[in-house]
Homo-oligomer: A and B are copies of this chain.
């Protein structure tokens, strides 16, 4: 670890973000504080609301670490309009804290689009990154498969998919501890040429890169093949991610239908509920705690709107890990190396 990384890490947290804000955010932040050393946490949001949650729960938090904001971007608002019309919102102010280097990271379970827009437009992109990307971690029979992009960009070009692969590989190595992560390109078949136009072009770029590119992977491979990082257009990734998130709901429905038809099945299903819940734990996003937005010149983590205190805590711990492992600097270096090699 360099001296740089020993500097105290400052993480700003959007106290107003999420369906259960500020309560869940404040509770998660206090819990994270107890788990962290060498970190400074800042709550960004309505001071009175934050204080009232602290009081209600009999908790204490340094008031100097509350940055008061008077506005809130609601979940349904149009991101670009909201950024302009609400300059004193927690998302805008949080992104600005990172831009001004007052904070190293900003974490929010609020409006995803607004968080992406604020991170990109206010905090700013890393030089050379055409498009930032959001990754999601899917459970896989070999562990975890990270999918980039799941919605930061749509109509991505081939070069963007390559950037996702570069950034995703660094994240897999530094944060998930995977040496030489295997990178796959999402496509319709294993053979070269089985993609759409953009994917076929990206195949060539990935083949020429110095990444550990294993070729095309199909839809089924996301859950069943040993691959660490898979890249695709944000339109496809977003649809896959949401489809996957809805599987437990279908399973619950199918089990209920089966239980209705036969009393013995109903009893068995009742008995196994707890076991099933345990087995499906890896499908629970709360365990992962938010998804990183990579390509930003600062740490930016976006959480699910329905984040629990535990999810908030995990998001903060993840931000700290990204800081300790100098993720942003490493992405900067890799992107800059890549651009140099391809210009010269």
Contact = CB atoms under 8 A, between A and B. Distances in A.
Interface of A: 139-141, 151, 154-155, 186-188, 195-197, 199, 218-224, 232-236, 238-247, 249-251, 253-255, 257-258, 265, 268-269, 271-272, 275, 278-280, 282
A279 B258 contact: yes
A224 B279 CA distance: 22
B196 A154 contact: yes
B268 A241 contact: no
A141 B196 CA distance: 31
Q: Lowest 8 A-B CB distances belong to which pairs?
A: A219-B242, A220-B246, A219-B243, A219-B239, A258-B279, A220-B242, A141-B253, A254-B279
Contact of A243 (B141, B223, B235): B223
Given A255-B279, A258-B278, A269-B275, A196 B235 contact: yes
* Number of copies of this chain that the complex holds: 2
A249 B224 contact: yes
Contact of A223 (B139, B250, B269): B250
B275 A246 contact: no
A186 B186 CA distance: 18
A277 to B, nearest CB: 10
Interface of A is mostly: helix
Contacts of A186: 239
Nearest to A218: B242
A186 to B, nearest CB: 6
B141 A235 contact: no
A297 to B, nearest CB: 26
A250 B139 contact: yes
A250 B225 CA distance: 11
A261 B278 CA distance: 11
B268 A282 contact: no
A2 to B, nearest CB: 38
Contact of A247 (B195, B197, B223): B223
A251 B278 CA distance: 12
